[in-house]
Amino acid sequence: GEDVEQSLFLSVREGDSSVINCTYTDSSSTYLYWYKQEPGAGLQLLTYIFSNMDMKQDQRLTVLLNKKDTHLSLRIADTQTGDSAIYFCAEILPWDDYKLSFGAGTTVTVRA
């Protein structure tokens, strides 16, 4: 595909796990990122994964990478109301240095 693709919306109950999925462009992309954007704010780098890794865990966050299918996912354990935000998947294509290519973002709503 030509674009980074994400589902647009996710609703999750407080305390449950959230899984946000992303299909990125190219299996040779070296660095893949998850950013979080809260209303009125810039982007916050949540986590990243190198292409030679399958999984990365960082406290409540788990990133899974499937290079064969160019699929990336972000799991948030024990989702809290403060996790309500837009989550962006991004890659740096090997032929397009220094440029982040973003998906459209997934709006996560945490309900009580």
Partner 1 sequence: KAGVTQTPRYLIKTRGQQVTLSCSPISGHRSVSWYQQTPGQGLQFLFEYFSETQRNKGNFPGRFSGRQFSNSRSEMNVSTLELGDSALYLCASSSPGSPGYGYTFGSGTRLTVV
Q: Are strands 106-111 and 9-13 parallel, antiparallel or unpaired?
A: parallel
CB of 52 to partner 1, least distance (A): 12
| C-alpha distances in Å from residue 36, one per residue of 52, 88, 108 | 23, 6, 10
* Residue nearer to partner 1 on the CB measure, 6 or 18: 6
Q: How many other CB atoms are found less than 10 A from the CB of residue 51?
A: 16
Separation CA 99–CA 13 (nearest Å): 35
Stretch near partner 1 under the rule CB under 8 A, chosen from 7-15, 16-24, 68-76, 97-105: 97-105
87 binds partner 1 (CB under 8 A): no
Residues 12-41 that bind partner 1 (CB under 8 A): 31, 33, 35, 41
Which one among 2, 59, 68, 98 touches partner 1, defined by CB under 8 A? 98
